[in-house]
Chain A
Amino acid sequence: MSVYVGHAAEAEAFPRAAETLVADTQLRRNVRHATDVIRRKRARVVDEVPDWEALRETGHAIKQHTLAHLDRYLEEFERNCTKAGGRVHWARDADEANRIIVDLIRATGESEVIKVKTMTSDEIRLNEALEAAGITPFETDLADLIVQLGEDKPSHIVVPALHRNRMEIREIFRRKMKLEHLGDKPEDLAAAARVYLREKFLSVPVAISGANFLVAETGSVVVVESEGNGRMCVSLPRVLISLVGIEKVVPRFEDLEVFLQLLPRSATGERMNPYNSIWTGVTPGDGPREFHVVLLDNGRTNVLRDDEASETLDCIRCGACLNACPVYRQTGGHAYGSVYGGPIGAILTPQLQAMQHSQSLPYASSLCGACYEVCPVKINIPEILVHLRAKAVEQGYEPWQERAAMKAASIALASGSRLEAAQKLARAMQWPFEHDGKLEHLPGMLASWTEFRDLDAVPGQSFREWWAERG
């Protein structure tokens, strides 16, 4: 088996990678600005929905139900997609998916493909496989284009170029598109991408897409997007290949009414994203004449086997947990070493790799709970993080902070006098932050943790001190 998640297995451990990245003040400023904007937008459009909690509840329930009957729903999808003229392929791992896709493209005789944003293709390193086979992939999503032309890596699952500001994007476009007088307004940059890609849309006959949802009942595929590059890719070329994780299936068409409310409001803070494309197999006289779905496992069945963590697969890739995470907001996405960053990446990446790699990621969190608060399908990420920490330790992983903390605890707890000394020290340190016995705002690295909860202060007198005094 060759399961891999981008280059996560070779990536530096999170604390080391983060150390370098937090020193990049420009990157931190970009990430902070973009996530601030999106958090404000999301809060506004979520607050206006009176039944948001009920939608989250149903979203979670549908996903959990589907995972429990995943075999049945995948077979049903396959049957209905095939009946409508599509072809369904099954790939156990990244290598197999890449081979299937390369062979399908070779069979068309073409050497160029257009792609609409699919993180799953980054997961399996599809572009590397295509290039090795002499096939040139053109990314058409604006953010993916920025990443591709900038020879960069994605840093966010919804907005992969979130770490770049408009000036940096202008420089990349100016250099690669040879546009000397390009402005730096977002409108100018979007217009440049329109001109740059138009000819490709009109002429390249093979496209690769991901999918947000597959519908078992009808065999339909759903792509949610903003720019229209998705519509171009799924409706103009002669051949369309959609690469989709097995967890993306939903039972019935009506289930989309839940996810098409949860996803756009959570992802980009919009009531609805500009475009959704829904199609079923091939349609005579309209759109691709050849349509393939590649169903990808690549470690997803590893996740499914762990009852305490399998709800990781509920994820609809909205990115809200990244935007809300105080750790992500400091480091940006690259520190996670995976195409899936942030809280969801911290639980998904190591599980896909059967906990054999990326073991530092479950520690890339302060367990503050902000991710769970915003998750539209109620994945209990903090609980899964703790569960995975235990699993990582079973595998022999031991992070230095935890080792240091345990060491300090064992010194302090070794004798009564040591404990007393430690308590005195803590009391002396905490007084500037204490308020009615609670620590509500701690400084530095602890600030984000106390943003969502209070910490009990070390009391003025310990039980031992009280006992001694009483005696």
Chain B
Amino acid sequence: MRYQGNRFENGGQNVDSREAILARIREAHSQREPEYGDLPRLYRQEGDLDVQDRIALLSERLADYGCGVHRCGRDGIAAAIGAVLGQRGRTDMVASGDLPREWLPDTVRTGADLSYRELDRVGGVITRCSLAIAQTGTIVLEHDAHTPRALTLIPDYHLCVLFAEQVVELVPEAMRRMAGFAERPITTISGPSATSDIEMTRVAGVHGPRTLDVLIVK
């Protein structure tokens, strides 16, 4: 039997499943619920913290997940990155293709074109992100040719550079910004790779990067 699109060319099976399922759905409806625009939305859509408090809350949440949280000024990014890497003892780092060269120590290569196996051998990766959510301690990455998904996934260490104005308070505020790049692959990261599968206890360090540092630039 060969499967062709939505049709099975096989004795008695030549049925269009798509039409069959849609027909069953249409038969089922006896009532039509309210229109989309009339759905109740009484949850919080706008936060009330100022930028200072958003950063404080985000830092607390990140630390709660076991992330390293670091801060620097706009003209101190290169020094801060160097210091964090030194502190972690990380060498052989790669970076996403869109980071300004002047932020990076000379030894850092661009990692966007590396194979999976090459990424598996690097010491870690440095990227920036698109935004962060204070309420949940989440950073949001949008992927493109400079920052393919494998780049922030296969290496065991991730250092993420975040700007103060990218921090929103609530999930709904974040989703409104994310809607602007919804056609691109998006990854949200809330702490290092972890599992709760053994006795429901969260332990860090499964398949994604086991160490996550966030550098907040003001």
- Given the contacts A194-B205, A218-B183, A286-B148, A202 and B120 also touching, CB distance less than 8 Å: yes
Residues from chain A with Cβ under 8 Å of B39 in the complex: 58, 61-62, 65
CB <8 Å contact, A272 and B136: yes
Contact among A92, A194, A286 with B21 in the assembled complex (CB-CB below 8 Å): A92
Closest 7 CB pairs of A and B: A228-B208, A228-B207, A235-B149, A227-B206, A272-B136, A301-B24, A257-B175
Q: Of A55, A69, A229, A301, which contacts B207 at CB under 8 A?
A: A229
CA distance A283 to B185 in the complex (A): 8
Q: B179 to A253, Cβ gap below 8 A? A: yes
Q: Are B183 and A280 in contact (CB under 8 A)?
A: yes
> Can you name 14 extra interface pairs (CB under 8 A) apart from A169-B198, A261-B171?
A35-B200, A54-B40, A58-B41, A65-B34, A68-B29, A92-B20, A190-B206, A231-B149, A231-B187, A256-B175, A258-B43, A273-B190, A286-B185, A287-B149
- Are B203 and A187 interface neighbours, CB within 8 A? yes
Cβ of B197 and Cβ of A297 under 8 Å apart?
no
Asked if B33 CB lies within 8 Å of chain A CBs, one says yes
Known A62-B39, A257-B175, A279-B186: A143·B197 in contact at CB below 8 Å? yes
* Residue A96 is within 8 A (CB to CB) of chain B in the complex: yes
Contact partner of A198 among B22, B28, B120, CB < 8 A?
Answer: B120
Tell whether A336 is near chain B: CB-to-CB under 8 Å. no
By a CB distance below 8 angstroms, the chain B residues around A260 are: 171, 175
Q: Which residue of the partner chain, among B21, B144, B176, B200, contacts A159 with CB atoms under 8 Å? A: B200
Q: Is A353 in contact with chain B by the CB < 8 A criterion? A: no
Query: Shortest CB–CB separation between residue B199 and chain A, in angstroms?
Result: 5
Q: Does A377 contact B (CB under 8 A)?
A: no
Main secondary structure of the interface of B (DSSP, over half): loop
When distances are taken between beta carbons in the complex, the residues of chain A under 8 Å from B22 are 71, 74-75
Kindly supply a per-residue 1/0 record for chain B positions 148-182, scoring 1 wherever the CB is within 8 Å of any chain A CB and 0 otherwise. Answer: 11100110000000000000000110111011001
- Known A-B contacts A50-B44, A187-B203; A257 and B21 likewise in contact (beta carbons under 8 Å): no
Given contacts A279-B186, A305-B28, contact A159 B197 (CB under 8 A): yes
How far apart are the CA atoms of A253 and B201 in the complex, in Å? 31
Residues of A435-466 at the interface with B, using a CB-CB cut-off of 8 Å, are none
Minimal Cβ-Cβ distance residue in A for B208: A228
Smallest distance from the beta carbon of B10 to chain A beta carbons, Å? 9
The one of B26, B65, B184, B187 in contact with A277, judged by C-beta atoms closer than 8 angstroms, is: B187
Out of A34, A62, A198, A305, name the residue touching B199 (CB < 8 Å): A34
Taken together as a complex, chains A and B put the C-alpha atoms of A258 and B40 apart, in Å, by 12
Task: Give the A-binding residues of B (Cβ under 8 A).
Answer: 1-3, 6, 8, 15, 17-18, 20-22, 24-36, 39-44, 61, 65, 116-117, 120, 133, 135-138, 143-145, 148-150, 153-154, 171-172, 174-176, 178-179, 182-209
Residue of B nearest to A279 (CB): B185
A-B contact pairs, 19 of them (CB 8 A): A33-B199, A51-B43, A68-B33, A142-B195, A142-B197, A142-B198, A198-B120, A227-B208, A232-B153, A251-B36, A253-B179, A271-B136, A274-B192, A275-B193, A276-B187, A277-B185, A277-B187, A280-B182, A280-B183
- A200-218 vs B, Cβ < 8 Å mask (1 yes, 0 no): 0110000000000001001
Q: How far is the CB of B122 from chain A (nearest CB, A)?
A: 13
Contact A278 B208 (CB under 8 A): no
A256–B140 Cα distance when bound, in Å, is 14
- Minimal beta-carbon separation of B63 from chain A (angstroms): 13
